[in-house]
């Protein structure tokens, strides 16, 4: 089971409604309908991840991008990983 505090659950729900809890941490789906520049979005995610020294799992496909975030060494959702979703607005 992935750990997440009640405070972070609330923050996720109110501040980042496009991100959902999943068995892999938190997940965001960015469809081609949101942007046709999927490669550019992946590049932006990578730059933000490098800056934060926290790297998500990214799956890029024709219909969109799936992004999973988890603090792997703690098997938890931590405040640290919310930096990327806050900076990534699509």
How far apart CA 65 and CA 10 sit, in angstroms, is: 25
Q: What is the CATH number of the domain that holds 59?
A: 3.30.1360.20
How far apart CA 63 and CA 29 sit, in angstroms, is: 10
Residue 1 lies in a domain: no
Residue 22 lies in a domain: yes
Confidence (pLDDT) at 43:
93
Considering its fold, how many domains does the chain have in total? 1
Q: In terms of Cα–Cα distance, which of 86, 74, 79 is closest to 3?
A: 74
Q: Looking at the predicted structure, is the pLDDT value of residue 1 above 70?
A: no
Whole-model pTM: value is 0.85
Residue 69 lies in a domain: yes
Question: Per residue in 20-48, pLDDT tens?
Answer: 998 889 999 999 988 778 999 999 999 98
Question: Per residue in 59-89, pLDDT tens?
Answer: 999 999 999 999 888 888 888 888 888 888 7
């Amino acid at each position: 089971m992935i750990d997440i505090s009640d405070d972070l659950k609330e923050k996720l729900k109110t501040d980042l409604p496009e991100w959902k809890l999943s068995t892999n941490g938190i997940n965001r789906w960015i469809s081609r309908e949101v942007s046709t520049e999927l490669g550019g979005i992946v590049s932006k995610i990578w730059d933000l991840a490098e800056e934060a020294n926290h790297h998500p799992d990214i799956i890029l496909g024709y219909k969109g991008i799936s992004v999973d975030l988890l603090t792997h060494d703690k098997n938890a959702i931590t405040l640290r990983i919310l930096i990327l979703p806050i900076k990534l607005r699509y």
